[in-house]
Amino acid sequence: MHDSLLLFGATGDLAQRYLFPSLHHLLRDRLLPDTFRVIAIARSAHDDDSFRAWLRDRLDGDDYVVLEELLRRIHYVPVDLGDADSMAASLSRYADRPAVSYLSTPPNLFASACRGLKAAGLLEAPSRLVLEKPIGHDLASAKEIDATLKSALDESRIFRIDHYLGKAPVQNLLALRLGNTLFEAVWERRWIESVDIIVAETAGVDGREGYYADYGALRDMVQNHMLQLLALIAMEPPAAMDTDSIRDEKRKVLRALRPMSAADAGADSVRGRYRDGVVDGHAVKGFDAGGHDDVETFVGLRAWIDNWRWAGVPFRLVTGKRMPSRTTEVVVTFRPVTHWVFGAGEARRARPNQLRMRLQPEETIELGLMGSLAASEWSANELQPMSLDLAMLPPKRRIAYERLMIDALKGDQTLFVRDDEVEAAWRWIDSVSAAWRDARTPVHDYPAGSWGPVEAAPFLPRAVTTQNGRKA
């Protein structure tokens, strides 16, 4: 395990909320080497003492002893990431041992940071590089970034983070579908009618308006988090649960996604942008696009996977800001029974079997079935929907970044995204962007606190909108 971490973007929101707290927890549990150190890097003009004081005010101080131990291990270096020569001069003294450099920065700084790290001797084997999403703005920019990365180090030492892959419930998706005969036997188009993936957030884009004006929900959420979930759900069983086998199967799914055309954009997509409304009982302002009218905070897509397992099965992807509730769910809807024997009256009450996997805020698994509630004196069955709750109270689990941080320090790439996965995802996202442009797909308004614009109704499963908040 490497014992030197260079954390770029050390004063940013991600570092404050997740990265430093993760290191705090890992140090508390003695999962970091005794010689572990953190080189905190940002533009701000701090020295070691002032940065430690700044960070102390922002971290949970309940475990004072461990917190102070972490702070003692942190050294601060002010650096301009846009200046590779300055980076090399400031950081070369930390090339005394193999390191993990973590770029928690905007993607437009990846290339210059990579050149500066290379010049400083910090990317020589076996040192590693970790990058936060998004990797680029489109396929062309992703390839350009990748070329710069590959000029400095090989793919085996590049770790592209998608923190959803570090979530324990996401990893449980694989166990559920690959470790149970019940689901293994029916996990294909003959038995499954549709798959819904929903990532809803009550938060807005406050403080990230500039970023969102350039990226929108399609590039911010669908290109990485949602397509990674889709790939895990739809991939073929890997030959083994090792890094390359899993990532090979995910890549095949992403490559099988049918490109969207302008002719399909109207039926297979919807875009929205939240306006003033009420979320969790509080009035909130609408998204200020700053003159960028062609940007969405809500997107609904119908994706098609052109392979033998999923031909003809729609995968509906929905994500949005300022929704009624925060939830990430996968809903698998099965086809109706082959022959209905209970009569027309009972057919009206029938509901399709559904497997509903909620990944956050709490982890639950429900299987929707049909059963009979008839008493013995009745001569006919009275069918009613019933839910089989497969959830159990999970043990206290680590947040995703704790798991991913340890894996990066150890060199385990299983839960990180490979270069060909990134390119395949961007290729499909670019087809959606081009379809929107050619079809002049509008961005519909929706009030904050609703399930998106009214045009989104066909993309939203009833199970989600009725149980997680009012339907739009």
| Residue numbers annotated as active site | 225
3-state secondary structure of 135: coil
Among 161, 133, 162, 164, which Cα is nearest to 328's?
A: 164
Contacts of 127 (CB under 8 A, 6+ apart): 2, 98, 99, 100, 101, 153, 157
- Residue 280's region, left for phi above 0, alpha for psi from -120 to 50, else beta, is left
Please check whether residue 177 is in contact with residue 330, taking contact to mean a CB–CB distance below 8 angstroms.
Answer: no
Q: What torsion do the CA atoms of 132, 135, 136, 138 make, to the nearest 10 degrees?
A: -140
Calculate the CA 35 to chain-centre distance: 32
- 78 CB burial (10 A radius; 0-12, 13-18, 19+): middle
**Is beta strand 158-161 parallel, antiparallel or unpaired with respect to 128-132?**
parallel
Tokens of 117: 């790290």
Q: Two tokens at 453? A: 């614009």
d(CA 157, CA 416): 11
Cα–Cα–Cα angle for 251, 252, 257, rounded to 5 degrees:
100
Residue carrying structure tokens 């998004």:
134
DSSP of 435-451: HHHHHT--EEEEETTSS
Residues 78 and 44: beta-carbon distance below 8 Å: yes
- 192 in Cβ contact with 335 (< 8 Å): yes
Angle at 258 between CA 309 and CA 329, to 5 degrees: 65
The answer to whether the beta carbons of residues 369 and 386 sit under 8 Å apart is: yes
CA 190 – CA 418 distance, rounded (Å): 31
CB 401 within 8 A of CB 165: no
